Homo-oligomer: A and B are copies of this chain.
Amino acid sequence: MEGYDKHAFEPFAVTVDLAVFTVRAGALQVLLIERGQEPYAGCRALPGGFVLPKESAGTAARRELAEETGLSDVSGLHLEQLRTYSEPDRDPRMRVVSVAYAALLPDAPEPRGGGDAASAHWLPYDGLGPLAFDHERILADARERIGAKLEYTCLATAFCPPEFTLGELQQVYETVWGAVLDRPNFRRKVLATPGFVEPVPGAARLTGGRGKPAALYRAGDATALHPPLLRAAAGSPPPTTSPSPPASSSSSSTPTSSKGSSS
């Protein structure tokens, strides 16, 4: 952009929209508000708001995150810019360009407190109805981005409390990906990645529910996963190990196998 011609551009309103995720009760949940005014009155929407004159979009996003969740300290939460949505007609009232952010929360206190948060609630991602504006698209993009980043970053720990078990970490992957992972293999992979997690020294084992108590871990100092933890390719049948997959009824093809794994 060379010289600025004051007549060459239209002023835009700039907002941030937040896709705030958490994993609770084995489901991926999203923080949504219910709109009270037109357009889209009564419709669910992503929390967000205007970027103030002296703010960057990132600053505005973190401010909105604090306001909407009611949390006193959001400085440690993972907040990441997704992309910017700028279709001319995305808001019927005026020209609004929105910078979308994705945020990850460890656990999910029901939001309380000021501002728009009055109407903010956690809702499961699956089965959501239509959202206001282009928020459905933004939310879908956010989920895809988060899922992809689980593969090659240590982002999953951002969904976990400061100390967590490997089972909880695995649940994050399974929930976001919508897939079931093999527990011993997941464990082997995570522990083999230096800096992903580190054991809690005191080793107070968690004995909440049934079963053998699990060891506690903290997030390590690594940020990237090398090599990555790949989710299975979309339409790829599991690389058929056994030469005869559909072994009719119950005749176990190999002396050691016959777990009837894949549905």
Interface residues of A (CB under 8 A from B): 1-4, 8-15, 17, 33, 35-37, 45, 48-58, 81, 83-84, 86-88, 93-95, 97, 99, 116, 152, 191, 198-199, 224, 226-228, 230, 233, 236, 261-263
Q: Does the CB pair B55–A84 fall under 8 Å? A: no
Residue from the list B1, B17, B94, B199 in contact with A50, Cβ < 8 A: B1
- Copy tally for this chain in the complex stands at 2
Residue of B nearest to A38 (CB): B3
Residue from the list B10, B15, B230 in contact with A1, Cβ < 8 A: B15
Q: Does the CB pair A97–B95 fall under 8 Å? A: no
CA A13 – CA B1 in complex, angstroms? Answer: 12
- Interface of A: prevailing SS: loop
A11 CB to closest chain B CB (Å) equals 3
Q: Does the CB pair A57–B11 fall under 8 Å? A: no
CA A188 – CA B224 in complex, angstroms? Answer: 26
Can you offer 20 A-B residue contacts whose CB atoms are under 8 A?
Answer: A1-B15, A1-B49, A2-B116, A4-B13, A8-B50, A9-B14, A9-B52, A11-B12, A14-B86, A53-B95, A56-B86, A57-B97, A81-B83, A83-B83, A83-B84, A97-B97, A97-B99, A152-B152, A226-B230, A228-B228
